[in-house]
Structure 1
């Protein structure tokens, strides 16, 4: 497993642990989760498009945990590889040079999840 795959898996593991802890112990976190769920519901914008927006923003702010979450959510919402890469490109354009560095990690996350999807497809 390459270093970024390990980093991505660590992000997933830590997010799940933190989510369980805070979900049980923090009313503020519970409210945040409810806000997040409502925000990403289909509305005038489909969930997929909202996740693509969040993916681009994640590149701009260089939030690896955000990239992991929103790229996975975009994939699960039906976004194509091309759509996700265009979201990275919008983030790069909005943040300049630093966005190219963030987008490298975002690309690794995309390939991490696409590889998992291919493995699942190969098993059927």
Structure 2
């Protein structure tokens, strides 16, 4: 029997989804409203879904939000962003937010891309 292991990226995504599920049970109106708003924000429009994910990744880095950084790195990949596009978005975030964004880009984002690309 093959032993399964969870990568740190998968573990973080799972942890977030579990927390969201618990929160939704406790405050369904808030969670459902927030989720509907967020979904509307990421719908295709003048900007593509990929562009919106790249923007969200940059903001996540600038805000130093590790869960959102992981979530939106996955979102970028899911929307067809290349590693080069992702890293350029990280560079823009670093130009804005300095060393804190760069430190996450050179560690967390690159680890996420590597782990998630192994799954594709």
TM tier, smaller: 0.7 to 0.9
Please name the residue that 1:47 is paired with. Answer: 49
Q: Give me the whole-angstrom Cα distance separating, in 1, the residues matched to 2:47 and 2:8.
A: 31
User: Runs (4+) of structure 1 moved beyond 6 Å?
Assistant: none
> Cα offset for 1:6?
4.4
TM-score, scaled to structure 1: 0.83
Q: Give me the whole-angstrom Cα distance separating, in 2, the residues matched to 1:20 and 1:49.
A: 27
Q: Give me the whole-angstrom Cα distance separating, in 2, the residues matched to 1:55 and 1:109.
A: 12
1:8 aligned onto 2:9: yes
> Cα offset for 1:77?
0.9
TM-score, scaled to structure 2: 0.86
Please name the residue that 1:63 is paired with. Answer: 65
Structure 1, gaps ≥5 residues long: 118-124
Q: Give me the whole-angstrom Cα distance separating, in 2, the residues matched to 1:22 and 1:81.
A: 33
Structure 2, gaps ≥5 residues long: 1-5
| Partners of 1:59 and 1:106 within 8 A in 2 | no
Secondary structure of the corresponding residue to residue 34 of structure 1 = helix
1:112 aligned onto 2:98: no
Q: Give me the whole-angstrom Cα distance separating, in 2, the residues matched to 1:91 and 1:63.
A: 13
Q: Which has the higher helix share?
A: 1
> Cα offset for 1:46?
0.6
Aligned residues: 113
Please name the residue that 1:18 is paired with. Answer: 19
Please name the residue that 1:36 is paired with. Answer: 38
Q: Deviations over 1:21-59 (max 9, x none)?
A: 223332111111111100000001011000000011111
